[in-house]
Every structure is written in C-alpha cells, then in structure tokens.
Amino acid sequence: MVMTFSYYPGCTLKTKAKELDKYARASAEALGIELKELEAWQCCGACYPQSKDEIATRLSSVRALNDAAREGGVLVTLCSACHHVITRVNRDMALKPEIADKANRYLEIDYHGTTEVLHYLTMLRDRVGFDVIKSKVVNPLKGRKIGAYYGCMLLRPSKEMGFDDPENPTIMEDFIRAIGATPVVYQMRNECCGGYVAMKDKAQAKKNVSRVLDNAKNCGAEELITACPLCLYNLNENGDKAMPVTYFTELLAEALGVKEA
C-alpha cells in the first residue's frame, strides 16, 4: 500500500541542493511512499524567529502547515533548516496564542498546529522502519565508514524538536546501518559547524568546521552525511575538502539501487 504525505522541499532543494531532493523522491518511491509537493509553498526563511513579536517571518510556514492540514495532516520536510523552522512555528501556533491569533487574523485562516511535521529521517524510522529499508537494500554500502553529521537544527531545542536524544542521537547511525554501512560515532557530530557565518566570517567558520572534521577523521570516519545544505556547503567550502560530505538521501538511493533511475 502506498503511503501519501504532503511534502515541503524548500528553496534550496530546488536549486543548489537538487540532489537532496531528487534522491529523496526516488527513494521514497522505491519504499512505497508518495511525496506530494505542496502546490504553493514559499520559502520558510531558513531561520526560526526567536522573538515573539516577529510575526511576518512566521507566515510562510503557517501557510504550508495550513495547506498540509487540509490534505491529510502530515507534512514531510527534508532540509534541516526547513524542518527546524516549520516544526517550531507549528508549536507556536498550537501553544502561543499571542502569535497564533495574529498570524491567523492576518492570513484569515484558523490554524492551531494540528499538522504533524515529519522529517524524512523520522519518516524512514517511524513510518517505514529501518528493518524494512534494510530488506529493500539491493546494494549494501559494505565497508564504508560513515559519520553522521547532525548539526544543530534537527536536534535542538530538543523539547521543541523532539527529534532524537540531543546529546546522544542514534537515528542517523541506525540509518547508516540499515543501508549496510558502518556508522562512526564522533563527539562533534551534534556541535555547530558555523554555517551562519560561512559567508561573512570565514575565519570563524573555518575554525568551527575544522573542529568537526578533525574529530570525525580522528574517530575513523571516511565520509560524512548530512541533511542540511548549509552544513554541506560550509563543511566543503570552509574545510580542507579531504572528507567527502554527501546528503543522506544520495546514499539511500544508492543502496536502494535507484540512484541512476
């Protein structure tokens, strides 16, 4: 039976991170999932506005959430930043009336955080199951030592994101195991790469990046996976380029044998 979910790709997946999107769609299909792209989504803004009086910057997320609510009530995201922003705005709509009232009045809707926001990885874990993925792998990535780079936005603040244990996450390692590779655990996998200063302050970004990459390398990782286009850019641009960094969806497609499809 095909499961159907609404899907929010986000701005970068349509341009610089096409592979993240393309391989996610091909893999979903192979796993019996239909990802239905929302008809009229807008960029989420890539930063969750932490100040309570920022309303306009929340509206594009509210629109997407409201559209998904009318189409089955589950919204799948993929980019870490989109997932972060949309998940937190969704909570605001459920729990902070001072924000929800203004946003609802402005958009002339009545939305209160009922949509379930699922990250693609969470979808793999909770809706498909890593054991099922394992059984569908035709090309196990045997012998590859892969470090998961979680970064910040999927995990924190954990009480809002509810993604995984923020200090000792396992979902990406379980994913790596499911596709037949060997996960390499390293301490810096959930520390920040400095993506937000990747352009304006390269010196700082380089420091943050080398702390992550050196640690991964010293722990035995030979490649890294991420769900975040900004992390990928920053780790490549401000690192020494010795460690290949790819989107997790590319490896999934490879393992499922749909990479070239």
Partner 1 sequence: MHNNSDKQKDQVFRMTGVDTRKCMKCGKCSASCPSFNEMQYRPHQFVDMVTKGRIEELMASPSIYHCLSCFACVERCPRGVEPAVVVEAIRNLAERKQGGTYFSPDEVPELIDGTVPQQALVSAFRKYRK
- Encoded one letter per residue, x for contact with partner 1 by CB under 8 A and - for no contact, window 14-33 reads -xxx----------------
- Distances 168 to 153, 172, 187, 221 between C-alpha atoms, Å: 15, 11, 9, 17
Distance of alpha carbon 42 from alpha carbon 57, whole angstroms? 11
CA distance between the termini of the chain? 22
What's the min distance (Å) between Cβ of 221 and partner 1? Answer: 19
Decide: is 45 part of the binding site for partner 1 (CB under 8 A).
Answer: yes
Structure tokens at 93: 């709509």
> Quick one: which of 1, 39, 40, 51 contacts partner 1 (CB under 8 A)?
51
Nearer to partner 1, 49 or 113 (CB): 49
Structure tokens at 153: 């936005």
- Contact in structure between 147 and 186 (CB atoms under 8 Å): yes
Positive or negative CA dihedral for 39, 42, 48, 51? Answer: negative
3-class DSSP state of 81: helix
Decide: is 158 part of the binding site for partner 1 (CB under 8 A).
Answer: yes
Stretch that binds partner 1, among 107-115, 138-146, 154-162, 176-184 (CB under 8 A): 154-162
What's the min distance (Å) between Cβ of 207 and partner 1? Answer: 8
What's the min distance (Å) between Cβ of 165 and partner 1? Answer: 11
Distance of alpha carbon 68 from alpha carbon 140, whole angstroms? 34
Strand order in the sheet with 3-8: 33-37, 3-8, 74-77, 116-119
> Quick one: which of 39, 50, 108, 142 contacts partner 1 (CB under 8 A)?
50
- Encoded one letter per residue, x for contact with partner 1 by CB under 8 A and - for no contact, window 225-254 reads ----xx-xx--xx-----------------
Distance of alpha carbon 100 from alpha carbon 77, whole angstroms? 22
> Quick one: which of 33, 62, 81, 124 contacts partner 1 (CB under 8 A)?
81
Distance of alpha carbon 257 from alpha carbon 138, whole angstroms? 6
> Quick one: which of 12, 66, 87, 90 contacts partner 1 (CB under 8 A)?
12
Residue ranges that bind partner 1, judged by CB under 8 A = 10-12, 15-17, 43, 45-54, 57, 79, 81, 152, 155-158, 166-167, 191-192, 194-201, 204, 207-208, 211, 229-230, 232-233, 236-237
